[in-house]
Amino acid sequence: MPNFAANLTLLFNEHDFLDRFEQAARAGFRGVEFLFPYAFAKEAIHERLVRHELELVLHNLPAGDWAAGERGIAVLADRRGEFREGVQRAIDYAGTLGCTRINCLAGIAPDGVERARLHDTFRENLSHAAGELKKAGIRLLIEPINTRDIPGFFLTNTRQAVALIEEINSENLFVQYDAYHMQIMEGDLARTIESNLPRIAHIQLADNPGRHEPGTGEINYPFLFKHLDAIGYRGWIGCEYRPATTTSEGLGWFAPYRG
């Protein structure tokens, strides 16, 4: 049976962030994830995890000025120092929170910069981060994202991510496979996941169109969940969707899998 983690950035938004841990546990989730922990004291987050017996399965590296529209800085040559500082900050938080997977958002390709230069910067930053996280016992993940929601995003499909991993040749670099983003960019979800399974360390879900809960769009999630079991995927599936109404009202899809 799949292991589902509630994404507390998008789910249970009817509550303040630190109160969402309790709501996730009450709903039957054993794991949680979120985009960023850095606006909160790591000790406060740790206390909620312990109190509600939840595992933190994923968070992201610092990704620049999110409110201003930045979606990662890993491809930006003039932000290398900031990127490396972010790696250490993420390791510090993950160590306290017991998180063993950290995702790196590539960022939006700036106008006027050759793609080869962006690629080289991304490769250099990933190589550094993978090595630093390995020392801390943390896996580094990279996530392809669709260019409809984030125009200009640098990393856009599974093939590109896997090729980059092979080029860097690090045993500590993996794919975070978001079914919503990849349904938009490439489709063929079941076959793509199966053929790249050794490279995939985390999966996320949302339905398309709308990025709402499973059952609201075109993706056959009951089939996909059975397929993941059949091919031996034993990792977490992060529920990174926007509830169509409230989180609780939209959890009917989760009932057969509730722990």
Nearest Cα to Cα of residue 41 among 33, 31, 49: 49
Contacts of 57 (CB under 8 A, 6+ apart): 5, 31, 32, 33, 99, 100, 101, 202, 236, 238
Q: For residue 24, which amino acid is it?
A: A
Catalytic annotation, pick one of 124, 143, 167, 186 = 143
User: How far apart, in whole angstroms, are the C-alpha atoms of residue 241 and residue 238?
Assistant: 9
Give the bridge partners for 31, in sequence order: 5, 55
Q: Tell me whether residue 85 is one of the annotated catalytic residues.
A: no
CA 103, 203, 110, 134 dihedral sign is: positive
Q: Tell me whether residue 240 is one of the annotated catalytic residues.
A: yes
Note if the bond before 151 is cis, omega within 30 degrees: no
- What does the chain come to in residues? 259
Contacts of 244 (CB under 8 A, 6+ apart): 210, 212, 213, 216, 250
End-to-end Cα distance, the chain: 10
Contacts of 95 (CB under 8 A, 6+ apart): 136
Catalytic annotation, pick one of 14, 124, 240, 249 = 240
Contacts of 136 (CB under 8 A, 6+ apart): 91, 94, 95
Nearest Cα to Cα of residue 166 among 228, 13, 158: 158
- Active site residues per annotation: 143, 240
